[in-house]
Amino acid sequence: MYSNYKSVVGLGYFVVHNSNVALLSDHSIEFACSEERLTRTKRDGRIPRASLNSIKHLVSQPSLVVCPYYDTAQYCHVFEQSGRQPPNIAQNKQHTALLRDLGATIFVGHHFSHAAGGYYTSGFDEAIIITYDGGIVCEPWLATMWQGKNGQLFPICKLTRKDGSLLTGLLIMKRGMRMIITCFSEYLCYLFRIKSTFAYILRKCIWIESKLIVTLSVRR
């Protein structure tokens, strides 16, 4: 997506937990670190200042600094899209200002970042990617679905909590860090029955992100 830039810093911050920083250069990962490794605070979710300081000897001025956190304008817009009022505008403004001071130049969605992590590390040119994250505070979406094609991600649908219970079964297996989502709610069954092509793909879809294998199925 950002292949024309010499160096890209990923500034992983979304308020709650596990802040991190990664440096990509010439299509390779030069540096990656979770803030907790340097602060010794488990699941440290603060702005990753220590991690950012650790890359200064590698790159003085990156081409882009990308953050998976909506700035205030985007934050208000996506909540309006979902039919909700933005709950923490003052907090978002404060965080946006801090991130810009740290050099953030591009702000992208949290679910988009999850989808990108799955798609761009999967090795597939075409894929259907589903994200599910109900604990975030920086956007209203509970789950999203994307189409990955020719190196680009295109949104298919975005769902909020009011769309109903999305997952009726979730089995976490200890061996192999494999999470198997056994079925979706009747709402999603109805939704993907309309889009029969996506329903077929969904039954066979495997989403890979950070070595977690998630198998998704739809109950008809």
Q: Which domains does the chain have, with CATH numbers?
A: 7-107 (3.30.420.40), 110-215 (no CATH)
- Cα torsion 24, 26, 27, 29 to 10°: value is -40
- 3-state secondary structure (DSSP) of residue 48: coil
pLDDT, position 163: 66
Q: For residue 57, give the amino acid letter.
A: H
Query: Helix 72-81 crosses helix 89-101 at what angle (to 10 degrees)?
Result: 140
Q: Which phi and psi angles does 72 have, rounded to 5°? A: -60, -40
pLDDT, position 143: 83
Tens digit of pLDDT at every position of the chain (220 positions): 545 568 999 999 877 789 999 999 877 889 999 999 999 999 998 989 999 999 988 888 899 999 999 999 999 999 998 888 898 899 999 999 999 999 999 999 999 999 999 998 888 999 988 887 766 678 888 888 899 999 999 998 888 877 654 443 333 333 333 343 433 444 444 554 444 444 444 444 444 333 333 434 333 3
Q: Which phi and psi angles does 106 have, rounded to 5°? A: -130, 130
How many angstroms separate the CA atoms of 22 and 43, rounded? 17
Cβ-contact 19, 34 below 8 angstroms: yes
pLDDT, position 159: 81
- 3-state secondary structure (DSSP) of residue 59: coil
Burial (CB < 10 A; 0-12, 13-18, 19+), residue 3, is: exposed
- 3-state secondary structure (DSSP) of residue 79: helix
pLDDT, position 135: 60
- Cα torsion 157, 161, 162, 163 to 10°: value is 40
Alpha-carbon separation of residue 30 from 24, 66, 135 (angstroms): 6, 16, 30
pLDDT, position 134: 67
